[in-house]
Structure 1
Amino acid sequence: MRSISFIIFATIYISFSNGFIPAIQRPALKAQLRAACQQKDQQKIFKLAEDLSKLNPTTDIMKDFSKLDGNWKLDFTTAPVGEVPDEETSGFKTFQTIDTSKGLIYNVIDQGLPEKGLKISIGAEATRKSRVAIDFRIVEAFNDKFPRKVTLRFPPRNLIRALSQIRAFVSRKEFDEQEFKEIAYFDVLFLDEDLRIQRNSEGNLFVNSRVA
């Protein structure tokens, strides 16, 4: 009888620990992370990002792909300034719009849009429980001088796939579709209703907050 009671107690305790305790920890860690982002305290950001990744409520992005939907602003990144301008020093606004129903991510660098800025369209597909494969499609550059708009289209994905398949055939290797899709990707370390932490295939960390 005692063993049965102990098992019941242990089950209740584990369920309580797995659900209630993380729910208390997350808000505090998120607040600390946002403060660290404002202070640009990299070491603290890295530590808090790691702590939050262990409390990630989104355990399968393939099932919860739509949780990425919406508008996101960039709070912090380790990506080079040449790729992602620093808002404080450049005055440019950097944000992201995601539409999972279309499988698209729009990275926007606002230098005074619609007259001046950059818009990058990226295909997105969840390929693993924590991974989203991406492929760059269109870059639109807007300028307040001539030319007003310049559009750069990346080679079609199907063409790149066909060339990769030919290369694999010539090399007598088996073509790996998932490996092909994941030429570029990001891993979701943490995702809830208003915070996203991810690391891309180049190893750069990104912290994003949802905006209305």
Structure 2
Amino acid sequence: MPNSMDANMDFKTNLLEAIAGKNRGLLASDRDRVAILSAVEKLEDYNPHPKPLQEKNLLDGNWRLLYTSSQSILGLNRLPLLQLGQIYQYIDVAGSRVVNLAEIEGIPFLESLVSVVASFIPVSDKRIEVKFERSILGLQKILNYQSPLKFIQQISTGKRFLPADFNLPGRDNAAWLEITYLDEDLRISRGNEGNVFILAKV
């Protein structure tokens, strides 16, 4: 019988192979989604950090989305003449803040950006309640967007990106996110709408 570390590596390899070529879920068939969810569940059973919110050094930082079942995210690919680029999620545990950022690619000078800024409150060792506070939408050129990290640093200083920066009303903007797997370079989360998110540390 393989030990837990061997099993972890095997299941992690299986999951990464299952999501390879699926373009974050855009190219996943129903059969693919079932196989990916099965691979996720097997890896979750070997989570090396069952109390991920206590693992600040691992959790902090910028993460790139590898796969999701969220249709609200994948639906950004349906914008006319544009397509979904890279998607990032930045976590600041000490500041209790999350920044979601999606790059929208396409015709030159029409490259865009969709970002949502949220605060969070831990409610268990692995679950956070999230409150969405700001939405930033606009052309990358107008926002002077250069890189995810620089953009996130600007947000952290309190910079506003008017007229593309909107405060979100308090009602109906709460959600929860549960971290079900965490290691040095991979994170799996599940959301309140039943969606799965697989991310790699940048």
TM-score (norm 1): 0.68
Indicate the SS of the match to 2:71: coil
Residue 119 of structure 2 is matched in structure 1 by 123
With over 3 angstroms needed to count, the CA separation of the structure-2 counterparts of 1:100 and 1:58, relative to structure 1, is same
Indicate the SS of the match to 1:184: strand
How far did residue 142 of structure 1 move? 2.0
Indicate the SS of the match to 1:55: coil
Q: Distance in 2 between matches of 1:73 and 1:46?
A: 19
CA contact (8 A) 1:62 1:127 kept: no
Quote the sequence identity (%): 23
**Residue 135 (structure 1) aligned with residue 131 (structure 2):** yes
Residue 31 of structure 1 is matched in structure 2 by 13
CA contact (8 A) 2:53 2:59 kept: no
Which structure has more helix as a fraction of its residues?
1
Residue 35 of structure 2 is matched in structure 1 by 44
- Larger mean CA deviation between 50-59 and 20-29 belongs to 20-29
**Residue 71 (structure 1) aligned with residue 66 (structure 2):** no
How far did residue 79 of structure 1 move? 0.6
Q: Distance in 2 between matches of 1:184 and 1:66?
A: 24
User: Which ranges of structure 1 fall in alignment gaps of 5 or more residues?
Assistant: 1-16, 161-181
CA contact (8 A) 1:65 1:126 kept: no
User: 18, 22, 41: which one pairs with 2:4?
Assistant: 22
CA contact (8 A) 2:51 2:125 kept: yes
User: 94, 105, 126: which one pairs with 2:87?
Assistant: 94
Indicate the SS of the match to 1:90: strand
User: 155, 166, 174: which one pairs with 1:152?
Assistant: 166
Q: Distance in 2 between matches of 1:194 and 1:154?
A: 32
How far did residue 60 of structure 1 move? 1.5
How far did residue 124 of structure 1 move? 2.1
How far did residue 205 of structure 1 move? 0.8
Q: Distance in 2 between matches of 1:84 and 1:104?
A: 24
User: Which ranges of structure 2 fall in alignment gaps of 5 or more residues?
Assistant: 22-27, 144-160
Indicate the SS of the match to 2:187: strand
Which structure has more strand as a fraction of its residues?
2
With over 3 angstroms needed to count, the CA separation of the structure-2 counterparts of 1:47 and 1:148, relative to structure 1, is same
CA contact (8 A) 2:50 2:180 kept: no
TM-score (norm 2): 0.71
Indicate the SS of the match to 2:4: helix
**Residue 108 (structure 1) aligned with residue 101 (structure 2):** yes
With over 3 angstroms needed to count, the CA separation of the structure-2 counterparts of 1:102 and 1:203, relative to structure 1, is same
How far did residue 82 of structure 1 move? 5.3
With over 3 angstroms needed to count, the CA separation of the structure-2 counterparts of 1:61 and 1:27, relative to structure 1, is same
**Residue 53 (structure 1) aligned with residue 44 (structure 2):** yes
RMSD: 3.1
Deviations 1:116-156 (A, max 9, x none): 21221111222112211111011111225799741111246
Indicate the SS of the match to 2:91: strand
